[in-house]
A and B are shown apart, each in its own frame.
Chain A
């Protein structure tokens, strides 16, 4: 048996039925496996796991009396948490609200897109390929350049505002930038491919005969969709919503470029300015830690409620 062919599923034979050479081969296999994963895992331990503990420790630091700016002493000052939560809970709630709306909007836009390419255009390889490239096209241009482009498209003197004012959907002095609407739009736009791709990957494998069967059984298209297509594509929907919601709730580029006023501040902006402008490392760390815990809690809740095991 060769070195790399041991499938994970094969159970180890009971000790007494294995020959000495087989046992040796098994050990070697184990050793190669550890050699393969060890460098990467040491890297992850040093630069992901340890920093999270560092963040936790820093969030409990205290500022000794008379210390310079940026100097803190190790402590267990839990009041850091109550202090930042007391001041910044609106931003925290707003971040989750914006991320939630953007996720729902991205689902509403991304699902039909994925369905169009994966199911409606099945068999038309070239068109499918072109549209798939268009879905990932935003990844090829800088995130910030695109967000800045939205800012200029939605700007007061831009085309969208002019049209909306002309048809009186927007009052004469109404504007789109510096509003919550613009921030949510930006979030929806920027994370749309993260929503569309997992759903596409899922729908691509969907057996279209099941949809036909729904029609044969006198279900109207909507019923077929609700009872057949949607449940089958749930793993894709869950992956897509997570890949949209998690980065969106921590994002602050959209809020900074498209919002940039007090009513659109998101928690990422607060963490950034606590670190770099206010130089309050414990406060910033406490906020980051709260954000991480809150998201983990929400994600676990969500996956428990709707999820399948194959996600993790």
Chain B
């Protein structure tokens, strides 16, 4: 009996798991086409109006603009600082290597409430006004750790012989870095930057503690949830989903083509 069920058990169960994962996304997508009026709670008929006018609901696009601006700055800060740390930690020896690794690991092992609350306590103690600046600081803090972890793996997998070869060909260390190491690290850095952007864009808890009265997109949805989220929020959520999907698929195709080109040589 077991032999009959066995081979099907994993695919069927796995398939159900995928369904579980995707149903809410499909729901968000479907309800972006709802002729909702004020509250997007029940299905009232198909319309394209929400997609034609995504800024139709009050304040939704202001929140989105804030989020895009914050996440862009955070991505730049976290990617630069995090990549530098990742290269430094893998390529150089320090006396306090274990401490340094711990400092990067700890924010990832601390719940967001605690990160948010401790930064808030800090800002309150030194009397900083909460706003866009404090959100950027808070997001950069936890995004740096993600970037370090992502880029470190890439640096560690790099073959040091490539740089030695560059040195043998009389490249200065700086030339060797920018012409050999950096291009090889770039896919990893780009992936880390996208991760940082996504993490920052979607963060609610840390933002909620350190934003004062500035609205971000997740904060807008959370506040709106009590009286009904406008369908335009679903439009923006779905659009972000499609854009992210295109970026991932595009990246995949690009790296496949690169691999084929390299193999062909």
Contact = CB atoms under 8 A, between A and B. Distances in A.
B176 to A, nearest CB: 5
Nearest to B173: A3
Interface in A14-49: 29-30, 32-34, 36-37, 39-41, 43-45, 47-49
A40 B104 CA distance: 10
A50 interface: yes
Contacts of A150: 24
B109 to A, nearest CB: 6
Interface string B92-110: 1110000011111111011
Interface stretch (A141-149, A163-171, A175-183, A206-214): A141-149
B20 A109 contact: yes
Interface string B73-88: 0000000011011011
B21 A138 contact: yes
Interface string B184-200: 00000000000000100
B225 interface: yes
Nearest to B106: A48
Contacts of B233: 145
A252 B205 contact: yes
Contacts of B164: 1-2, 5
A141 B225 contact: no
A35 to B, nearest CB: 8
A112 B198 CA distance: 27
Given A43-B141, A142-B221, A2 B21 contact: no
Nearest to A25: B173
Contact of B18 (A30, A113, A145, A148): A113
Nearest to A150: B24
Contacts of B61: none
A139 B117 contact: no
Given A138-B21, A292-B110, A47 B176 contact: no
Interface size bracket, A side: 35 or more
Find the residue from A33, A120, A145, A249 having the highest chain B CB count within 10 A: A145
B28 interface: yes
A101 interface: no
B111 A281 contact: no
B237 A142 contact: yes
Contacts of B28: 141, 145-146, 149
A234 interface: no
A112 to B, nearest CB: 5
B65 interface: no
A275 interface: yes
Given A58-B125, A139-B198, A292-B111, A33 B88 contact: yes
Find the residue from A36, A49, A189, A272 having the highest chain B CB count within 10 A: A36
Contacts of A117: 14
Contacts of B171: 2
Interface residues of B, number: 94
A240 interface: no
Given A2-B176, A54-B121, A292-B114, A36 B85 contact: yes
B225 A40 contact: no
A193 B31 CA distance: 24
A257 B225 contact: yes
Given A8-B93, A43-B141, A253-B222, A143 B202 contact: yes
B218 A6 contact: no
A268 interface: yes
B59 interface: no
A57 interface: yes
Contacts of A152: 27, 31, 41
A48 B111 contact: no
B138 interface: yes
Given A110-B17, A133-B249, A142-B240, A7 B160 contact: yes
B103 A41 contact: yes
Contacts of A80: none
A146 B25 contact: yes
A49 B122 CA distance: 10
A308 to B, nearest CB: 15
Contacts of A249: 111
Contacts of B93: 6, 8, 30, 33
A116 B176 contact: no
A85 interface: no
Interface in B3-55: 6, 10-11, 13-14, 17-18, 20-25, 27-28, 31, 41-42
Given A51-B119, A144-B204, A152-B31, 4 more contacts: A8-B92, A49-B103, A51-B118, A268-B113
Interface of B: 2, 6, 10-11, 13-14, 17-18, 20-25, 27-28, 31, 41-42, 81-82, 84-85, 87-94, 100-107, 109-115, 117-122, 124-125, 137-138, 140-141, 144, 148, 160, 163-164, 166-167, 171, 173-174, 176-177, 181, 198, 202, 204-205, 208-209, 217-218, 221-222, 225, 229, 233-234, 237-238, 240-241, 244-245, 248-249, 252
10 cross-chain pairs, A with B, having the tightest CB-CB distances, nearest first: A250-B111, A33-B92, A3-B173, A36-B88, A116-B14, A140-B244, A2-B167, A37-B88, A40-B81, A55-B118
8 contacts: A4-B181, A37-B92, A116-B11, A141-B238, A142-B240, A148-B221, A221-B6, A291-B113
